[in-house]
Amino acid sequence: MKKRFSVKNVILVYSIITFFVAAISFAVSFYFSRAVNLGSEEGDEHYDKYYVMITSEKDSDFWQSIYKGAYETGKENGIYVELLGDNLTKIYSDTELMNIAINSKPDGIIVYANESKDMTSLINTAASKGIPVVTVYGDCANSSRCSFVGVDGFKLGKEYGKRIVNIINDGSAWDPEDKDAHDHLDVAVLVDSFSDNNNQMLVWSGIQNAIETDNNTEVKINLELKYINNSSPFTIEESVRDIVKNSDLADVIICLNGTNTNYVYQTMIDLNMAGRSVVFGYDDNESILRGILRNNIHFTMSADTYKMGSDCVMALKEYSESGYTSQFVLADVTTIDSSNILKYISESGEVLHEE
């Protein structure tokens, strides 16, 4: 008697075949891309090593600058650095890209990491296969990564805290149209809810520390964490709008990344609320610099992103050659406000386009 295949079995077999065909197609295209990048008989460039960079925010100016630093430093040292996922139509998560990277067996991985169990496990897996990993901007301290390149979150927080005390002392802490005496200052610190990045909490600790040590005024400073749903650009914008439209809008809003700074600034402009809160920003993209010029952003903090990318490549190179490298490489951070913004724009070569 002949066996009959059920519809479920046919669908299952078809699904399995489709999956393997897609996987093979992706692998072939990925390896072909790598082969072309590493050099061919027709190409002018030849690279001895291949590194990949992974970040879920690859399209932002911040990460494009980090990648530029990594790519150009790599090129100078015979290393091709690829921003993984840059040419793929589907959007992959950081962990999915880490799996792809590990299976492609690069000579090194640069990743915007976090402290999640999945990321820790993947970094450890890469290390066990002889692939060194450098974490950048977001760390995974309990993993086998060979180095972390980023900023000192606690020091960053202390600068924000000192600035809070400064605006109390110079009288710019509150809405100038509100002539009532103030005995307290409400400060909202925006943090991403979908993040296992400990750097946010280090900044928070630094703010608290500076206020405890530097606030010699009679003004009570009320700090509050405000969580931003950063699962998509739409949810970020909605979270920011809800905070800004709140009747209990904080006197000071502190943004810890460029995306949130941009949304806070733009939302306040759109709602005709510019000046209702003092905005402390992060990053130095065109929109933020324009906000400082218009006195709608009090100041911003900017890390040397190009050098961060360069440091990632050099850390991997040093580790590959000697078996060790510095566990922490901290980037320089510049404070930009109305007193130095014109000089900063001139020296950094930033161009502000006409609106």
Say if residue 244 is in the same domain as residue 311.
no
The pLDDT score that the predictor gives to residue 248 is 85
User: What is the per-residue DSSP string for 225-250?
Assistant: EEEE--SSHHHHHHHHHHHHH-TT--
Say if residue 162 is in the same domain as residue 290.
yes
Are 176 and 162 a contacting pair, CB within 8 Å? no
Domain span at 288: 153-302+334-348
Question: How does pLDDT run across 10-35, given as a tens digit for each residue?
Answer: 455 455 555 454 444 454 445 445 54
Tell me how many domains the chain contains: 2
Say if residue 128 is in the same domain as residue 231.
no
Say if residue 55 is in the same domain as residue 199.
no
Tell me if 39 is assigned to some domain. no
Per-residue pLDDT band for 5 (boundaries 50, 70, 90) equals very low
Per-residue pLDDT band for 42 (boundaries 50, 70, 90) equals very low
What residue type is assigned to position 13 of the chain?
Answer: V
Say if residue 141 is in the same domain as residue 164.
no
Say if residue 62 is in the same domain as residue 202.
no
Say if residue 229 is in the same domain as residue 319.
no
- List C-alpha distances in Å: 133 to 78, 248, 324: 18, 44, 12
Are 149 and 157 a contacting pair, CB within 8 Å? no
Tell me if 289 is assigned to some domain. yes
Say if residue 182 is in the same domain as residue 287.
yes
Of 45-49, 234-238, 255-259, 280-284, minimum mean pLDDT range: 45-49
Say if residue 344 is in the same domain as residue 202.
yes
- 3 state SS of 146: coil
- Beta strands 299-303 and 79-83 are unpaired
Tell me if 83 is assigned to some domain. yes
Whole-number Å distance between alpha carbons of 17 and 333: 52
Tell me if 255 is assigned to some domain. yes
Say if residue 285 is in the same domain as residue 311.
no
Tell me if 227 is assigned to some domain. yes
The pLDDT score that the predictor gives to residue 348 is 78
Phi and psi angles of residue 251, each rounded to the nearest 5 degrees, phi first: -70, -35
The pLDDT score that the predictor gives to residue 6 is 56
**CATH number (domain holding residue 326):** 3.40.50.2300
Q: Over pLDDT 90: what percentage of the chain?
A: 66
Say if residue 273 is in the same domain as residue 210.
yes
Tell me if 181 is assigned to some domain. yes
Say if residue 160 is in the same domain as residue 191.
yes
